Amino acid sequence: MTSATAPTVRIRVTAVLSKLVGGQKEIEARGATVAEVVDDIEASYPGFKAQMYGEDGELQRFVNVYLNDEDIRYMGGAGTALSDGDVLDILPALAGG
């Protein structure tokens, strides 16, 4: 369970993921790290975490997560620290052809 004192973060999701969060395009969650935020979302919207992580426990490589427009892969991955008011954009890569 995420602490009530953890930062509140705004999460913007694409249409693909919005189905998992009640059709919303933007939600709020709490967590000191990206991983904690995903856990907090999972508590309210079961099944969300499975779209983010592979069986190996790592973020799916086709899911791009940006913290304030910076790719978390180059920051600290799922362990990237968050602050109140941060914005996470979660963008599953789209296959095309």
Residues sharing a CB contact under 8 Å with residue 45, sequence separation 6 or more, in sequence order: 20, 21, 22
Pairing of strands 70-71, 87-92: unpaired
- The two three-digit tokens of residue 82, written as one number: 């968050």
Q: How does pLDDT run across 32-81, given as a tens digit for each residue?
A: 999 999 999 999 999 999 999 988 988 888 899 999 999 999 999 999 99
Residue 21 contacts residue 48 (beta carbons within 8 Å): yes
Question: What is the C-alpha separation between 77 and 59, in angstroms, rounded?
Answer: 8
Q: Is the pLDDT of residue 5 over 90?
A: no
**pLDDT exceeds 80 at position 4:** no
- pLDDT confidence of residue 57: 87
